[in-house]
Structure 1
Amino acid sequence: MGRLMNTARPRLGRAAGAAQGGRRRALVVLAGAAVLVLALLVGVVVSLTSLLTGDGAAPSGPGSAVPDGPSVGSGPQAEAALAREQMLELPIEAVSPRPLSTRTAGPPITLPEPSQVVGTLVATGFDDSEQGALAQLAELTRTGLAGGDPQTWARAYGSLAEPDAAAPEQTRVHRDLVDLRRGANMAATGPLREGMTMSWTPTSAMVKGSTDDGTYTVACVLGEFVADNQGRVVNAGWGNCLPMRRVADQWRIASGPTAAPAPSAWPGSDEAVAAGWREIAR
């Protein structure tokens, strides 16, 4: 199984992780807006820019990169350590549209196609490789973020989760969707307002790490989230990491702890490259 390790990933100290782990990002609630559409769009902007960056600890420094392909062992303890390890935290403004970088974090990643797309909520049947795990996560994230509804995410997540996987409510995506709707003064779940759409399109990916036996991978995908309200559009970068396990001929969301938050950034930006995101080949 070919390694796609993220060489830009820093290891972070426990003290920094604990300090940042207790910090909650503030949500700005708009009051007294004269135009509902404007209030809704600004609420989405505020929510996205305050939510779509990691909760994790600040990086320990630019010289703390992990060597390519380190041995992490196998088994529940190795899996849990890999899932919980914090990733690079980026500034809040990194999620907003910005110029593309002239650098890359590595060659583009080609994702395989699914073998099952009919009769399933999320396309499945990706091959037994790290690229297959990335492709499965990209399909899950695209399906789960459609409409910006926490219940849609929960259904898509549950369709792929192992019995002892973390509950969907424990994932960063679910928490962000709940706060996004609250910050935009929208119903907690259900269809969007008439004339409004929300979608996510994958653009980049990286593998945080895999166990030595190759059956467990923490996969990460980054994409462009678009909220369109009757032609008024808000864009932001949105990243997602989840632990994936190969079970029979499928990739499933692995049992055990969920993954630490992904470093969200505008796809292709300097910040995205610094975090290790590699372009998905088209």
Structure 2
Amino acid sequence: MSTDQLPDGGSRRRALLTLGVVAVLVVALLVGVVVSLTGMFGSGSPDRSDSSVPGTATAPAPGGASAGSGPEAETALARRPMLEIPAQAALPHTLSTRTAGPPITLPQPQQVAGVLVPTGFPDSEEGAVAQVIELARVGMSGADPQVWAQAYNSMAEPGAAAAEQTPASRNLMSLRRAANMRESGPLRSGMTISWAPTSALIKGTTDDGTYTVACVLGELIADNKGRVVNAGWGTCLPMRRVADQWRIASGPAAADAPAAWPGSDEAVAVGYRDIVR
């Protein structure tokens, strides 16, 4: 049916909103995986190529050998590229029969009341992963870059990359721009965007154990009045142990996490492992 056949202007606008927003969300979520398409959802990662095929490429050693300690080692770890995977790997498809390793058991936070992001995780790689998951869970609320910045800034140590320079912030801003929404504030009436963590990996830890880059992956769900779009979305953050807390570390932002459908062959190839509590 053409727009001219719709009964009135209000109906035409509602129809275009329903169909258009769903369409651009599909495009936005897909483009979020491929830097080379339009520059939307830019992650700072290298362009992804079709040569990356699940099962034939190997991830750059998540949780593998560390490379010393100190600022140079931390920068190298943060900026080290992640595995390249095809764009369509982020969209729902068949789950893998393989795993990247045993599940990561997440510790519980020790402080929940009176803080924006639950904190108080133990001094361990699993503790760093759990802290990143809680930050992402809070920061992704409403797919609002301002909410992400608030959550991020509440945990960032002096000298950390600015919130707006993180891949997650750029992803959220581009998604809203693609959907013709304000860059911050409530979503349109009838629309929800949520994120549920499913898996994680430890990209690496410096020799002194105080600096870890943790990556988390989950399902991004965009619902516009019952029309639902799903995709895999993840983020990596550099974390530093400061006193008895994990903080977002000073220095550069981490290279963006590969966006794979949770539990798929591509997610396993990247090194994502299931999380359990």
| Shorter-normalised TM range | 0.7 to 0.9
Query: Where do residues 177-216 of structure 1 align in structure 2 (5 Å cutoff)?
Result: 177-216=172-211
CA contact (8 A) 1:56 1:260 kept: no
Match of 1:90 in 2: 85
Offset, 1:52: 3.4
Match of 1:114 in 2: 109
Offset, 1:97: 0.6
Match of 2:248 in 1: 253
Query: Where do residues 102-141 of structure 1 align in structure 2 (5 Å cutoff)?
Result: 102-141=97-136
Q: Using the alignment, how far apart are the partners of 2:99 and 2:149 within structure 1?
A: 33
* Percent identity between the two aligned chains: 64
CA contact (8 A) 1:114 1:125 kept: yes
Q: Using the alignment, how far apart are the partners of 1:67 and 1:89 within structure 2?
A: 14
Q: Using the alignment, how far apart are the partners of 1:68 and 1:81 within structure 2?
A: 14
2:151 equivalent to 1:170: no
Change (3 A) 1:64 1:168: closer
Query: Where do residues 1-282 of structure 1 align in structure 2 (5 Å cutoff)?
Result: 34-53=15-34, 55-56=45-46, 58=48, 62=57, 66=61, 69-282=64-277
Question: Which SS does the other structure have where 1:176 is aligned?
Answer: helix
Unaligned runs of 5+ in 1: 1-31
TM-score of the superposed pair, with normalisation by structure 1: 0.85
Q: Using the alignment, how far apart are the partners of 1:203 and 1:167 within structure 2?
A: 26
Change (3 A) 1:68 1:180: closer
Please, which moves more after superposition, 68-77 or 178-187? 68-77
Once the two structures are superposed, what CA deviation does each residue of 1:179-204 show, in whole Å capped at 9, x if it has no partner?
A: 10011111111001112111111100
Question: Which SS does the other structure have where 1:160 is aligned?
Answer: coil
Unaligned runs of 5+ in 2: 1-12, 35-42
Letter in 1 for 2:29: L
CA contact (8 A) 1:56 1:87 kept: no
Letter in 2 for 1:56: P
Letter in 2 for 1:49: L
Once the two structures are superposed, what CA deviation does each residue of 1:48-97 show, in whole Å capped at 9, x if it has no partner?
A: 11113563255897368549631310011100010011111211111101
Q: Using the alignment, how far apart are the partners of 2:184 and 2:215 within structure 1?
A: 26
Letter in 2 for 1:123: P
| Segments ≥4 residues shifted beyond 6 Å | none
Once the two structures are superposed, what CA deviation does each residue of 1:250-271 show, in whole Å capped at 9, x if it has no partner?
A: 1000000010111110000011
TM-score of the superposed pair, with normalisation by structure 2: 0.86
Q: Using the alignment, how far apart are the partners of 2:253 and 2:67 within structure 1?
A: 17
Offset, 1:232: 1.5
Once the two structures are superposed, what CA deviation does each residue of 1:189-244 show, in whole Å capped at 9, x if it has no partner?
A: 10011121111111000000000000000000000011112221111100100100
Change (3 A) 1:74 1:194: same
Change (3 A) 1:214 1:222: same
CA contact (8 A) 2:102 2:274 kept: yes
Letter in 2 for 1:216: Y
Q: Using the alignment, how far apart are the partners of 1:226 and 1:275 within structure 2?
A: 22
Change (3 A) 1:237 1:64: closer
Question: Which SS does the other structure have where 1:49 is aligned?
Answer: helix
Q: Using the alignment, how far apart are the partners of 1:253 and 1:75 within structure 2?
A: 16
Q: Using the alignment, how far apart are the partners of 2:254 and 2:124 within structure 1?
A: 19
Match of 1:14 in 2: none
